[in-house]
Structures are given as structure tokens and as C-alpha cells.
Structure 1
């Protein structure tokens, strides 16, 4: 079972340094033959759970269509542009919305593998008492929230420049500008008349405003991290609630004892 866990990530991820880090971490676990007390067991179990969550999230998201074809994490147009997207689709110009969304999701898919080293460092630095608190927590997402608190800032700093560069290379801003040009030229009348504005107001919506390149980059960065946390949280809950998801004896023992 352990061997099978490594196959998808080996086939998928080729980022420099990433595999070395995970392989070294795996060696740490397998070399720890004898654990002499429950505190060490808890610490090792929580690290295994975190490692599994990280690998699952990176494997799932860090590939083509990892974001785009996953409804849980797909990055859609920003909230203040949703009326633009809906209107363009109504008038048969949805392809411009699709191109814009595709470019944002591709940026996220490229950036996710770069989060692995930070997540692994967070795992390594986990203390015994903190591990115990996380395991015994009634919150099914305590581990995921630990990542948000202790790694969130570093993760954002790591992937923000990657996303910015990708967006520049893939002309994300160009797709946004094209989408807005077609909206203003052919579709704005659907939302700019008095009746439409009244209806939008009643729905808590407003006419779209300009979105700057910096704002788009920040939006994609934030949504990328949200997607990463979502996938880690899914795996965490699965390990806590589904005995079949505990792929090692140590996980079975420690998490089974929390019932």
C-alpha cells in the first residue's frame, strides 16, 4: 500500500527538489522502527496524516485540469464580473469567458506543486503536544486549519510570483480585456438600462467595474490556496472518519484510539 501511494506523485510531479523532499520524509518514517511511547506515536501519526493530505492535494490539483475540471475548486470569474460572464453566455459569447477562466485555472495548476516544500517543512516542525491536540480535536479540519495558520503566509508568498508570471506569459489580462471589450460592445445594454440596474440591485449585484492586473493576480493566488486547503481538508476528514482511509498501522492505531 505504501508503495502504491508514491506512484501517482512520481509520475506526475517533476518539480526540482520536490521529490527529494518527499522521499527524504518517507525515509524518516520507514526508518523509525520502534516508537517507544504514545506521544511519539501521536506525533508520527499526525505527520503521516499530513503527508498523505499534502500528497493527495498536490497530486489532484497540480496537473492539467486539476482545478478546471474539479467543481469544488474551479476558479471562476471574480464576483464583480459574474454579471459580465452571465450576460456574455446569454448572447452566445461564452467562449470569451471560458478562455478567461481557463487561463486563471492553468496558473493555479502550475503553482500548486511549489507549495509542497513549505507544507513538508510545516509537518517536520510539528511538536508532540501540538500533534496530540490536533488528533484529539473534535474539529474534523483541525489539521487543515493548522496549515492555514502556520503556513498560509509562506504559501501565498511562494505561489504569488509563480501565478503572476504565468498570468503574464499566458496573457490572462488579455483574455480579461477581450471579454470586457465584447461585453461593452455587444452585451452591456442588457445590464446598463434602468430596469436592469434595478433588478441587479434587488439581487444584491451591481454593474461590473474595472479589474486591475494586480487584483486578478491576488484573486487567483487566494483561490489557489483555497483549493489546496479544500483538498487537504477532504483527505483529513476521510482519515478521521473512514477506517479504510488509514493506510498505515500507525494511523489505524492512533486515530482508532480517538473513538
Structure 2
């Protein structure tokens, strides 16, 4: 109990410290609690993130990584009116199946580009961020990563998605279908033929979900802590 009170008081005192004092106080608290320095906490959390990111992006970038996974990208609800209406028109009988495969292949192709973007993004994590993640909720690292990188990732990821969709002719195929639909007489609710924004957001949602799964595994599964530093850092969380 005395150690817990000391720990809480020390954290409260951080608000009155400058950066140098904060690092010193936080380092002393961490050392007294579990033998870890603040630098080790930061390094351990970065290792955990990199492991989760690597596994997550690698799995999703494989063939069928999206297409045959819980993160399969489905067509938006409004797209169903297009596929339902065109299924009896020659050339579009398998429209939904073809588009689904093409957009998921595009996402798989783009996922291979995500790892270095994530890795570069976590280098800015502060000591305070690291401690908060270690003691936070089971998905604290993923929530942090999504909060600080989503827009940057979108900006970097979207051109890759566009290139990947074009590689599989998905955008042209979908645009042709939508334009055909929009020309049907008495159609009053035209559909936007733009596909890449939707696919980009869904691809990133799947990527973050996979990273969260890997984070949970590292937190809960001792066997997933593959380095000595990870074992030491997350042992502090366990306690």
C-alpha cells in the first residue's frame, strides 16, 4: 500500500516538473516499482507495436488476407441496389462477386505498404504515452496508434489503394456498372461511382482490427512475448 501511495503521489507531482525533471521522476518511480527504466518502457511498447503491426500487415497482404478473413471488405449498402438491378443485364450477372474480389485484392496489395508507415509513426511516442499504454485498456496501443496516425495513413494509403484497384481494374469495372445503373430510366437516386475512398477506409479499419488482435495476444499470451524486453515490460502490466 505504501508503495502504491508513493507511486500515485509521484505521478501527481509530474505536473509541476519540466521535461528533464519529469523523465527523472518517472524513471525513479518505474525503477522502484518494477526495475524498468522509462526508456525500457518506451522501447518495449514500441517493440510490441512493431510486432503487432508486422504480423497484422503481413497477414492481410497475403492472398485472401482480406477476402477470406473477418475483415473482408463488403460493398456499401447503397451498392446493393446497383448489383440487384444489373444482375440480369449481360456483362453484369456476377457484378457483386467480381467487385468484391477485386476490391479485396486491391486492399491485400496495398496492405504490404502499410508496415513502414506504421513503424515510422510510432517513433514519436513519448514516455508518457508509453506508460499510459502499458497501464491502459487492452487495446490502448491500437487506440493511440489510430488516433495519431489515421489521417496520415489515409493520405499515404489512398494512392496505393487507387493504384491497387486499378491494377485489378476494379475502379473501371465499378464505374462502368454504376454509370450503366444511373442511365436506367426513372432512376432518381444516382450512385457515386467513386470506390477508392470507401475501400481505403475499410482496408484501414481491417488493418487496425488485426493490429488490435495482435496487441491483445501480446498482453494476454506470455508465449507471444518473443523478446526479453517484452516479457519484462508486460510482466509489469500483469502485476
Say yes or no: TM over 0.5. yes
Is structure 2 residue 203 aligned with structure 1 residue 255?
no
Q: Count residues with an aligned counterpart.
A: 202
Q: Which moved more, 1:53-62 or 1:243-252?
A: 243-252
Q: Secondary structure of 1:52's partner?
A: helix
Of 232, 247, 256 in structure 1, the residue corresponding to residue 211 of structure 2 is: 232
Cα distance per residue 1:207-236 (max 9 Å; x no partner): 9741222xx110011011101101100001
Q: Which moved more, 1:143-152 or 1:246-255?
A: 246-255
Of 144, 150, 153 in structure 2, the residue corresponding to residue 146 of structure 1 is: 144
CA–CA distance in structure 1, aligned partners of residues 226 and 177 of structure 2: 47
**How far did residue 173 of structure 1 move?**
3.0
| Structure 2: gaps of 5 or more residues | 1-34
Question: CA separation of 1:88/1:73 partners in 2, compared to 1, >3 Å: closer, same or farther?
Answer: farther
**How far did residue 120 of structure 1 move?**
0.9
Instruction: State the partner residue of 1:135.
Output: 134
CA–CA distance in structure 1, aligned partners of residues 39 and 99 of structure 2: 49
CA–CA distance in structure 1, aligned partners of residues 189 and 207 of structure 2: 28
Question: CA separation of 1:179/1:129 partners in 2, compared to 1, >3 Å: closer, same or farther?
Answer: same
Query: TM-score, length-normalised on structure 1?
Result: 0.68
- Which gives a bigger RCO, structure 1 or 2 (Cα 8 Å, sep 6+)? 1
Instruction: State the partner residue of 2:191.
Output: 210
Query: TM-score, length-normalised on structure 2?
Result: 0.73
Instruction: Determine if contact 1:64/1:109 at 8 Å carries over to the other structure.
Output: yes
Q: Which moved more, 1:107-116 or 1:164-173?
A: 164-173
Is structure 2 residue 45 aligned with structure 1 residue 64?
no
Q: Secondary structure of 2:94's partner?
A: helix
**How far did residue 65 of structure 1 move?**
1.5
CA–CA distance in structure 2, aligned partners of residues 210 and 69 of structure 1: 27
Instruction: Determine if contact 1:88/1:97 at 8 Å carries over to the other structure.
Output: no
Instruction: Determine if contact 2:165/2:196 at 8 Å carries over to the other structure.
Output: yes
CA–CA distance in structure 1, aligned partners of residues 93 and 236 of structure 2: 52
Question: CA separation of 1:97/1:132 partners in 2, compared to 1, >3 Å: closer, same or farther?
Answer: same
Question: CA separation of 1:73/1:208 partners in 2, compared to 1, >3 Å: closer, same or farther?
Answer: farther
Cα distance per residue 1:51-102 (max 9 Å; x no partner): 11111011101122111111x21111112113444677899x7622111111
Instruction: State the partner residue of 1:110.
Output: 109
**How far did residue 114 of structure 1 move?**
1.6
CA RMSD of aligned residues (A): 2.9
Instruction: Determine if contact 1:62/1:109 at 8 Å carries over to the other structure.
Output: yes
Q: Secondary structure of 1:210's partner?
A: coil
**How far did residue 119 of structure 1 move?**
0.9
Instruction: State the partner residue of 2:49.
Output: 50
Instruction: State the partner residue of 1:78.
Output: 76
The structure having more radius of gyration, on CA atoms, is: 2
Cα distance per residue 1:8-30 (max 9 Å; x no partner): xxxxxxxxxxxxxxxxxxxxxxx
Is structure 2 residue 144 aligned with structure 1 residue 165?
no
| Structure 1: gaps of 5 or more residues | 1-35, 193-206
**How far did residue 168 of structure 1 move?**
3.0
